[in-house]
Amino acid sequence: MDEAPLIRFSGVKKRFGPKVVFVSLDLEVRRGECVTVIGGSGTGKSVMLRMLIGLEHPDEGSIEFDGIDLTGLDRSHDLAKVRGRIGMLFQGSALFDSMTVAENVSYGLRENPHGKTRVQDINRRVGVVLGMVGLEGTQKLMPAELSGGMKKRVSLARTIAPEPDVLLYDEPTTGLDPPNAARIAELIVHINRETRSTSIVVTHDMHTAFAVSDRIALLRDGRIAMQGPPEEFRRSNDPYVHSFLEGVT
């Protein structure tokens, strides 16, 4: 029997006033899989991630994480346990300007009472994750001293520092030039391989989608209109899919 998916959206409906975001969102993500969600602006890609970590709540339907129905959880204690297993890279790097690189990266470790608490353990982990993103020796730098690409990598290091089971990437390459965007895509692949984490990537950048994905899911008209391996999207004759592929070789 196939293993149950780690994450499952079932019949999820969501609207904000007159704006209907999801009419019936159905999506499963298996353990260790990297699924990229694409779609036009306003189709609900980021809303989907925010619902998974409890920042938004569905109007109808269910969201399951490792067999737990998130829509039925208490919004404090129980939800905090689930959030502790999920790391999210937000669209903006969201670094604390008054903190050094090391302080930014260690923030989640210091705030998590179940994680590493000894200073030497925290410092060691900070060094490890900065090495994973190619920023060895930057611990004492301030965010103002970093380029846009470096800030994104520091944010990525902070996301993976607590060793979450699931990584969520919200538009990870937005605002980056092509070389830095390619580097972030390479890091996503590397981190997935090294940590064996389950990942959901939200992006409009098809170069990134093709580079990192085991499977791509297309959001359209409030539901998943198409999903499959990257090559299936390359071969598609759907004009809407082609609109995402323009300029991608």
pLDDT tens, residue by residue, 73-94: 766 667 788 888 999 998 877 8
Q: How far is CA 117 from the centre of its chain?
A: 26
Dist. CA 183–CA 175, nearest whole Å: 13
Contact 140, 101 (CB under 8 A): yes
86-115: average pLDDT: 85
What Å distances lie between residue 127 and 28, 185, 189, CA to CA?
A: 34, 21, 20
Find residue 89's DSSP bridge partners.
169
Q: Which residues of 177-210 are buried (b: 16+ CB within 10 A; e: fewer)?
A: eeebbebbbebbeebbeebebbbbbbbbbbbbbb
* Residue that wins the pLDDT comparison between 54 and 231: 231
HEC per residue, 100-116: CHHHHHCHHHHHCCCCC
Question: What would the pLDDT profile of 125-137 be if each residue is shown by its tens digit?
Answer: 999 999 999 999 9
Question: Helix, strand or coil for residue 97?
Answer: coil
| pLDDT at residue 117 is higher than 70 | no
Q: Residue 113 pLDDT > 90, yes or no?
A: no
User: What domains does the chain contain, in order, with CATH numbers?
Assistant: 1-85+166-172+196-249 (3.40.50.300), 89-163 (no CATH)
- pLDDT of 1 > 50? The answer is no
Average pLDDT, the chain: 90
Of the candidates 180, 194, 224, the residue with the CA atom closest to the CA atom of residue 11: 224
Looking at the predicted structure, is the pLDDT value of residue 206 above 80?
Answer: yes
Per the CB < 8 A criterion, the answer to whether 54 and 75 are in contact is yes
DSSP 73: S
One-character DSSP codes across 128-181? HHHHHTT-TT-TT--GGGS-HHHHHHHHHHHHHTT--SEEEEESTTTT--HHHH
pLDDT reading at 249 higher than 60: no
Residue type, 173: T
CA distance 76 to 196: 28
Percent residues over pLDDT 70 in the chain:
94
Q: Which residues of 89-98 are buried (b: 16+ CB within 10 A; e: fewer)?
A: beeebebeee
Q: What is the pTM of this model?
A: 0.90
User: Tokens 């990134």 appear where?
Assistant: 208
3-state secondary structure of 219: strand
| DSSP strand pairing (166-170 vs 86-89) | parallel
**Range of weakest confidence among 6-10, 56-60, 70-74, 106-110:** 70-74
Q: Span 104-119, mean pLDDT?
A: 75
